[in-house]
Amino acid sequence: MEGTCPTLLLLVSPHHVPLAHTLALLAMTVVTVAIKVVPLDMACNSFDDQYRGCGPNMTAALPDLNCSEFQNNPLFARVWPEAVAKWQSQGSRVSPLSSPDQAIALMAYTRNDLYQQFNAAVRVAGRSAQEYRKNFHFKTLHFLLTQALGTLRHAQNVQCRRVFRGVRDVKFKAQPGQRVRFGQFISTSLSKKTAERFGRDTIFQVHTCHGVDIQQFSNYPNEEEVLIPPFETFEVTLVSRDRGRTLIQLHSNGTFSKYNCEWLRRKIEGSEGSMGGMRELRRVREGSGVTGVQGGHEEGSGGTDDFGGWGSGGSGGPWGERGGRRGP
């Protein structure tokens, strides 16, 4: 952030300039201070579980887990039944998703009052397994969204898409050739004009192979929303400036996850060494290709069917989330 404007203001006497000029300078200073500069990186603190090989077992664990999270997360407990009612009012559509819960999870995520707090938690829940287990009270929503995106991606049979995202009050720094992740669920639009309405300080043009069209399960279907998961990786192909805006182009080059089936892994490893528990843990690990708690599973972008934080917390995070309402 530049520090020159405040310094210059201190050197200007109000007795020698018109009041309107002084107010204009002050307004410029406020704008300068408000815009943050954030580097793009691999979002190492993100919770990025892909649940490879453990979908059915994780689904079986949801009732108890969901009950616990309703008790520990009042926002989630309030928004979920509201999303159920909205989903029912729109005809209770499920297909091509695998369950009503997946449809309701997408409906809940696209509401104004949940996604900011959820994504702020996703960005930091991967700092450690303990952080995820004890402090991340969106385990159910994270799993259902991840499963929903995987199901829709398979059903839509679209290899890759070009999408856009506009961000206000944040300028992102990146270098061509750099490998990055968003580290949270990122809403983008198929329409560049739609993206620009929600923020013009940074414009992303993203070639995504794991982002999924969620219009039919969104509260805002007219936004042509494509949701990108936290674990997709991108190469920065272009960074430029245009009329005060930062333009960043990203090209999908695979996925990366530190975690896989983390909730089940901890549960199984804590089951006092029963043979059944050890066999189940072995199945989880063999199915995922991950041998450690944070094994770092990685895939290239060539036709894989699996899905690949921002270190800061806060409700909005560095993305200036969606420009006052749920805009991409």
Distance CA 147, CA 155 (A): 12
For 87-143, the DSSP string reads: HHHTT---TTSS-HHHHHHHHHHTSTTTHHHHHHHHHHGGG-HHHHHHH---HHHHH
3-state DSSP of 7-45:
HHHHCCCCCCCCHHHHHHHHHHHHHHHHCEEEECCCCCC
Report the first-to-last Cα separation within the chain, whole angstroms.
25
Of 52, 123, 161, 165, the active-site residue reads 165
Q: Is 165 a catalytic residue?
A: yes
**20 Cβ contact list (under 8 Å, min separation 6):** none
Report yes or no: 151 and 229 within 8 Å, Cβ to Cβ.
Answer: no
Distance CA 294, CA 49 (A): 10
Distance CA 237, CA 174 (A): 10
For 241-308, the DSSP string reads: EETTEEEEEEEEEEEEES-SSHHHHHHHHTSTT-HHHHHHHHHHHHHHT--STT--EEE-SSS--S--
Distance CA 226, CA 231 (A): 15
Distance CA 294, CA 117 (A): 24
Say which DSSP state 217 is in.
G
Of 69, 224, 225, 299, the active-site residue reads 225
Report yes or no: 161 and 205 within 8 Å, Cβ to Cβ.
Answer: no
Q: Angle formed by the axes of helices 55-72 and 139-156, to 10°?
A: 140
Of 187, 252, 257, 301, the active-site residue reads 187
Q: Would you please indicate which residues are annotated as catalytic (active-site) residues? A: 165, 187, 225
